[in-house]
């Protein structure tokens, strides 16, 4: 199996059809049964090239005729990406291997003429690998770090030059895998011991007791301990949201935007299979993913509902706690989801409207004295603290609960949970916990 060719085929599918890189990688790994190094190289190539597409395009334009390059088919451009990515962003690959193997794939798939073109462009770069990025700050960052220009223009006033630069660089590194120990099936010490015997190193998260972190993601995901349900994949920031919610045994909990179920299954697990967790999501295929995870983790206190949250009912204050993990711009997960940064043109006004409506909806389901947690995986203040401030202003029966009473203070700001990727070494996320006024006696 030619690992670069396999990676190239996946890249084409992701860039052309918007297919999910992770799902295609998982399918490819099952098929190829290759060594760990090769599997890791395939992950690096696919995720790295999808992330760095903007940067690679910029570089390709410097070493081709720009007018012709614009009209070049994506299949040919992707071969150039494959070559340039190895030459510029992967230290471990010798130059001759990067060029020769890419040219081989080009010849095999599209004939000698294409192979010669790829060879000429890559060798022109090797002969004189000098080129300049734009002078303008935002344009330079967009080209060099591979982000949509509009996004950089939005980030610079929020975080300043230095912080934005660190953030851009952080997301371009291969993301570490965070996994959550399933305490219904094992314990953290047993799982660490198990992986130690298999030469997989983990570090313990300083933020959440149940999370351990590794750089050997592909190997860990293929391990039988995953299919047997001893752990599941969850970023530390997502686990912190559930720890902030702080579900208790025998309670009834509503999760209105639940799929693929990372948080809902952690809620259920923390309740030790008692009480009831109702998990609602409107996309049937994603609800199936919750079901699979539930079964794998041996969880049986969850009820799954495939419905639009805004139609779910009866609307009544029947729940001890309600989680609103709303759709958002996803800035916080750009490191793990390589394609997300290129879908930047989502309609932010529409997202803001859904989020505000979700807060009003969720509030109606909370019992007197119960709790409402609103969370996102973005660092965008408009979708985070500004939503909460507006909600609290017009819903006087709710008050903010101090997040640092539930999670370590270092991951909070102004009483709310806020994580920043390059500062906290986890995804960027936000959560606010609010309590509904208890019944007057
Ligand atoms: C941020 S994700 C939730 C992640 C999930 N809480 C977890 O931890 O795995 C948002 C989810 O909201 C769902 N969604 C979006 N609009 C919805 C609606 N109107 N009703 C129900 N679900 C919706 C999407 O399908 C998506 O799965």
Mean pLDDT by 10 residues, the chain (441 residues): 90 90 86 77 94 97 93 96 97 92 96 97 96 97 97 97 97 95 97 95 97 92 94 98 98 98 98 98 97 97 98 96 97 94 84 97 98 98 98 98 98 98 97 94 74
The whole-angstrom separation of Cα 141 and Cα 221 is 34
Predicted pLDDT of residue 133: 97
Q: How far is the CA of 401 from the centre of ligand 1 (A)?
A: 24
Which residue minimizes the CA distance to atom 1 of ligand 1?
327
| CA–CA separation, 431 and 323 (whole Å) | 10
Which sign, positive or negative, has the C-alpha torsion 241, 429, 425, 178? positive
Q: Distance from the CA of 402 to the center of ligand 1, in angstroms?
A: 25
What is the predicted pLDDT for the residue at 1? 67
State the pTM of this model: 0.94
Give the position, in ligand 1's atom list, of the atom nearest the Cα of 290: 9
In contact, 245 and 373? CB cutoff 8 Å: yes
Ligand 1 atom closest to residue 241's alpha carbon, by position in its atom list: 8
Which residues does 230 contact at the CB level (< 8 Å), separation at least 6? 181, 182, 185, 186, 191, 194
Atom of ligand 1 nearest to the CA of 377: 1
Which stretch of DSSP H or E encloses residue 166? helix 149-172
3-state helix, strand, coil in the chain (%, to 5): 55, 15, 30
Q: Are 385 and 337 in contact (CB under 8 A)?
A: no
Give residue 326 CA to ligand 1 midpoint distance, Å: 6
- Tell me which residue has its CA closest to atom 22 in ligand 1: 281
Strands 231-233 and 203-204: unpaired
Predicted pLDDT at 351: 95
Site residues for ligand 1, CB cut-off 6 Å:
238, 257-263, 280-283, 286, 308-310, 325, 327
pLDDT at 91: 87
Report whether 398 contacts 391 (CB < 8 A).
Answer: yes
Residues labelled as active-site residues: 377
């Amino acid at each position: 199996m030619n690992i670069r060719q396999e990676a190239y085929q996946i890249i084409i599918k992701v860039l052309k059809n918007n297919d999910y890189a992770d799902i295609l990688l998982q399918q490819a790994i099952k098929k190829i049964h290759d060594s760990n190094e090769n599997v890791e190289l395939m992950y690096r190539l696919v995720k790295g090239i999808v992330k760095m597409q903007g940067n690679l395009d910029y570089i390709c334009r410097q070493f081709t005729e720009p007018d012709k390059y614009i009209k070049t088919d994506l299949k040919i451009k992707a071969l150039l990406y494959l070559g340039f990515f190895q030459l510029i962003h992967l230290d471990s690959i010798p130059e001759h291997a990067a060029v020769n193997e890419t040219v081989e794939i080009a010849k095999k798939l599209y004939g000698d003429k294409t192979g010669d073109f790829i060879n000429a462009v890559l060798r022109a770069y090797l002969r004189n690998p000098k080129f300049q990025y734009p002078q303008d700050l935002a344009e330079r960052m967009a080209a060099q770090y591979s982000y949509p220009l509009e996004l950089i223009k939005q980030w610079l006033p929020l975080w300043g030059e230095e912080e934005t630069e660190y953030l851009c660089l952080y997301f371009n590194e291969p993301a570490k895998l965070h996994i959550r120990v399933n305490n219904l099936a094992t314990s953290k010490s047993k799982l660490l011991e198990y992986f130690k015997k298999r030469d997989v190193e983990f570090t313990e998260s300083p933020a959440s007791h149940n999370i351990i972190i590794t750089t050997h993601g592909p190997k860990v995901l293929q391990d039988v301990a995953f299919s047997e349900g001893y752990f599941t994949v969850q970023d530390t920031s997502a686990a912190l949201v559930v720890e902030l919610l702080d579900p208790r045994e025998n309670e009834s909990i509503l999760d209105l935007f639940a799929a693929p179920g990372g948080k809902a299954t952690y809620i259920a697990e923390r309740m030790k299979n008692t009480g009831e967790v109702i998990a609602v999501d409107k996309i049937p295929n994603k609800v199936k993913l919750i079901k699979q995870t539930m079964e794998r983790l041996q969880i049986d206190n969850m009820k799954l509902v495939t419905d639009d949250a805004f139609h779910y009912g009866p609307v009544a204050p029947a729940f001890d706690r309600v989680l609103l993990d709303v759709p958002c711009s996803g800035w916080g997960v750009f490191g793990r989801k390589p394609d997300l940064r290129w879908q930047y043109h989502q309609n932010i006004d529409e997202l803001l409207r859904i989020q505000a409506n979700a807060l009003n909806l969720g509030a109606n389901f909370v019992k007197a004295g119960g709790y409402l947690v609103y969370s996102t995986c973005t660092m965008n203040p408009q979708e985070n603290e500004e939503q909460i401030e507006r909600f609290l202003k017009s819903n006087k029966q709710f008050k903010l609960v101090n997040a640092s009473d539930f999670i370590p203070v270092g991951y909070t700001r102004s009483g709310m949970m806020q994580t920043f990727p390059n500062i906290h070494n986890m995804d960027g996320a936000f959560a606010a916990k609010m309590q509904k006024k208890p019944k007057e006696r």
